[in-house]
Amino acid sequence: MVWLALGLYTDLRLPFDPMFENPLVKDLAEKYKPLWALDSVSALLEWDMETYMPLGSSKQRGVAVAQTQLLRQEGMLQLLDLITRAEMSKGLNDSEAGFVRVLRRDLDYYTKVPPKLLEDILRTATEGTVVWREARKKSDFSMFKPYLEKMVDLKREEAEKLGYEGHPYNALMDRFEEGITTNDVDRIFAPLGSDLKGILAKVVSEGEFPSAHPLEGIRYEETAMKRVNDDALKLLQMPEKTFRMDVSTHPFTTSMSVQDVRITTRYEGKDFKASLFSTIHESGHAIYELQIDPSLDYTPLSRATSLGVHESQSRFWENFIGRSREFVKGIYPSLKSNLPFVVRYNEDEIYRYINSVKPSLIRTDADEVTYNFHIMLRYELEKKLIGGELEVTEAPEVWRDLMEKYVGVRPRNDAEGILQDVHWSGGMIGYFATYSLGNVIAGMFYNRIQKDLDLKTSVANAQLGRIKDWLREKLHNYGATYSPKDIQKRIFGETYNPQWLIKYLQEKYLA
């Protein structure tokens, strides 16, 4: 049977079996356990803060989270010697090498960024977020401007401390997407931007996918919508014992361990697709975390390898699966029985409603075709701010110009423009590109998986478990063992190729 095993190597490969054999790594793994526990505690504290905590204790909870993270930082610094010795060990296997790599990345931030700078960033973020909320409400950028200027200065300093090759923005992006550079992102965004522009122009002129739909205005009962979301979770075969869903203003996914992964969804009372696709999006994130090999629990490898790869999983389930005709067919009976107004619309109408394409001003409302433009704009702005090629004062006007250039609409005020996202006030500069990288990688998965299984038939027959198994074997199992570029090379033989996303969008919207 050897010939068969060789011929079907990838299919017959043994399940991932991470083994820590090196004595230094085994020792490190034991000493890391309390830090893993602190991460788990922080995650639970934060989950509770967004879901059930009485509002009155938000200040104390903030202190509790910060103190927990401080303890973790102290604990990490104590591992410095051991990590350095483990790095020098010869012949580490993949799991051991990944383990040491991830710890070193964590540690680097603590050792390279001075405590005073870290404190300044945190304080500016806390104060800036409060002011940003008020500024957005009043649509007054001048209120937020000094905080953004301060944050940009601090982040430029952070980039200097962290070190980089090429552009200083590389140091900031690397925190969220290991190894990514402005050269990579420029290479990805150039063809993506020009091809998307062509797709958008055609979609708008042909009118097959509407820019607005009457269903957007129809109100629903929250309890009824909850039943639809529960049915979606059943279709996705989410496990009952290790997963749960709650409600929060901004949906998110978190995990306390591989055996306890939680998502939240939102109910705004109308336009039911927002609630349904938040649920599916976060479930995509959750499937990744739930399918990490359990033997990686208690280690820093029991997490996603990067934000971009994490986002590829949520987007894959939300857009490539959830917004397909086959999935609509599967969820339609639940929609019809729970939301009485749906009976007036057939499956085809529901498909057009959930796939409407509309050039719009707000990123979080954007559709599959226009979404990446919102990211390109933010990437371009951040890169210039950090590179010192653009002053914060000029940013709102540049935002308006870029919006017009990319999406063809111009914000009338700053609330619809530069003030719409929370990221900058919180110091998350270098983050935005990962959303589009996620879309690009999702396109690569969509292309690659169809070489091994009939995707449409699997969805049509409600056999989503097959798709989950495939993703587990190729990606989820490994957690953070391989860097985002390395795991892509293993799966696809290439990294961040936007061609597959473009092909998918062309086939879907222009066919």
Q: Name which of 302 and 314 has its Cβ closer to Zn ion.
A: 314
Cβ atoms 383, 167 nearer than 8 A: yes
Residue closer to Zn ion (CB basis): 16 or 431: 431
Neighbours of 2 (CB within 10 A): 6
Q: Does 257 bind Zn ion (CB under 5 A)?
A: no
Q: Which spans in 221-324 are helix H?
A: 222-235, 273-290, 307-315
Site string for Zn ion, 159-178 (x = CB under 5 A): --------------------
In angstroms, the CA 245 to CA 265 distance is 7
Task: Return the number of the residue (319 or 338) whose C-beta is nearest Zn ion.
Answer: 319
Amino acid at 418: I
Looking at 42, 275, 314, 483, which residue binds Zn ion (CB under 5 A)? 314
Q: How far is the CB of 287 from Zn ion (least distance, A)?
A: 12
Smallest gap, in angstroms, from Cβ of residue 253 to Zn ion? 7
Q: Which is catalytic among the residues 96, 158, 282, 368? A: 282
Q: What are phi and psi of 457, to 5 degrees?
A: -65, -40
- Binding segment toward Zn ion, per CB under 5 A, in 111-119, 257-265, 314-322, 407-415: 314-322
Helix, strand, coil shares of the chain, percent, nearest 5, are: 65, 5, 30
Is residue 388 within 8 Å of 401, Cβ to Cβ?
no
288/509 with CB nearer Zn ion: 288
448-475 core/surface letters (b: 16 or more CB in 10 A; e: else): ebeeeeebeebbeeeebebbbebbbbbb
Tell whether residue 278 is a contact of Zn ion (CB under 5 A). no
| Angstrom distance (rounded) from CA 485 to CA 171 | 16
* # residues contacting Zn ion (CB under 5 A): 1
CB 376 within 8 A of CB 189: yes
CB atoms within 10 A of CB 217: 9
The residue range among 62-70, 85-93, 313-321, 377-385 that interacts with Zn ion, by the rule CB under 5 A, is 313-321
Could you give the string, one character per residue 61-80, with x where binding to Zn ion holds by CB under 5 A and - elsewhere? Answer: --------------------
Note whether 264 binds Zn ion by CB under 5 A.
Answer: no
Instruction: Evaluate whether 359 touches 204 at the Cβ level (below 8 Å).
Output: yes
Q: How far is the CB of 281 from Zn ion (least distance, A)?
A: 6
Which two structure tokens, joined as six digits, stand for 311?
Answer: 């986002």
- Using the rule CB under 5 A, is 313 a contact of Zn ion? no
Q: State in angstroms the smallest separation of the CB of 239 from Zn ion.
A: 20
181/314 with CB nearer Zn ion: 314
Answer for the pair 409, 362: CB distance below 8 angstroms, yes or no. no
Does 306 bind Zn ion (CB under 5 A)? Our answer is no
Active site residue 311: no
Residues 214-233 interacting with Zn ion (rule: CB under 5 A)? none
For Zn ion, the closer CB: 355 or 439: 439
> Which 322-341 positions form the footprint of Zn ion (CB under 5 A)?
none
CB of 479 to Zn ion, least distance (A): 18
Residues that bind Zn ion (CB under 5 A): 314
Return the active site residues.
282
